[in-house]
Amino acid sequence: MHYRKLGSTGLDVSILSFGASSLGGVFRQTDDREGIRAVHAALDAGINFIDVSPYYGATRAESVLGRALQGVARDRYILATKVGQYGEGEFDFSAARVTRSLDESCARLGVDYIDLLQCHDIEFADLNQIVDETLPALVKLRDAGRIGHIGITGLPLKVFPAVLDRVAPGVVETILSFCRFELNDSALGDLVPYLREKGVGIINASPTGMGLLTERGVPAWHPAPPHLVATAKRAVDYCRGAGVDIVKLAIQFAISHPGIATTLVGTANPENILKNVAYAEAPVEFEHIGRVLEILRPVHNHNFTRGRPENRDELVA
């Protein structure tokens, strides 16, 4: 496993990391014992960064992860969780709630310290509140030694500079972006120089577009427009015919950018996490990646957005 610096945090994170939303049964019915084995398999394979949230599975993901981490030496993993989103459409970024949320997460996770605490999906928030209330509350927690670092997460890319340009250097140390650096959408790459200049570490997530670039396809709730789903299916069909797993190509593409510290993959299956690690460490399938990029060219950066109207990205038609 290879490791990269996470911005200016001083943390060395594995280029492939564990997205624990899977432990909450977000994508399918899962067995907690299998999920715990998946966490152990990831750690044994060299993955050292784990990301979770109280929102995933209505706190189930944090609880299962806490059970998985029992007895594991604390220096074997870098633990990230989130504040602000707690249920479907339930957001509370007030200083009191995010402070209480940290206590609740620590109790579920069985730890007294979180390496990285992130504001979850800030596109649904009033960014004035994030800047003026939420982040100052997290800075107090960091100053008190309760957390190590502070981050923000979201789908629309515009929310990151909208916050970073309004806070002092070092307040926000990481961003987590999903579905914006994958085979069909590489828009996050355009932000890398700006984020590097700010000293902000980049966490990429959902290299398969939340199922878009998989044999199983998108779940019913997926927000991708029909033309994007149809074109992605053509790429999947090509890979099937060529005898290559499109997930392998998606992972290899996602971890290829040296400016992106780590890419989260989510699975509650220990065999799948080991397969993902093997894909990351295998020789790069340049020819097949090139062919898939060609198939996806008509929908390149044609993605989806969400959040409050003022926080949404403008989409390519």
Which residues are known to be catalytic? 56
What single string gives the DSSP state of each residue in 102-152? HHHHHHHHT-S-EEEEEE--GGGS-HHHIIIIIHHHHHHHHHTTSEEEEEE
139 neighbors 92 (Cβ within 8 angstroms): no
| Whether 284 contacts 256, CB under 8 Å | yes
Taking residue 248's Cβ as centre, other Cβ atoms within 10 Å add up to: 20
List of E strands, the chain: 3-5, 12-14, 16-19, 49-51, 78-83, 85-87, 90-91, 114-119, 147-154, 174-178, 201-205, 262-265
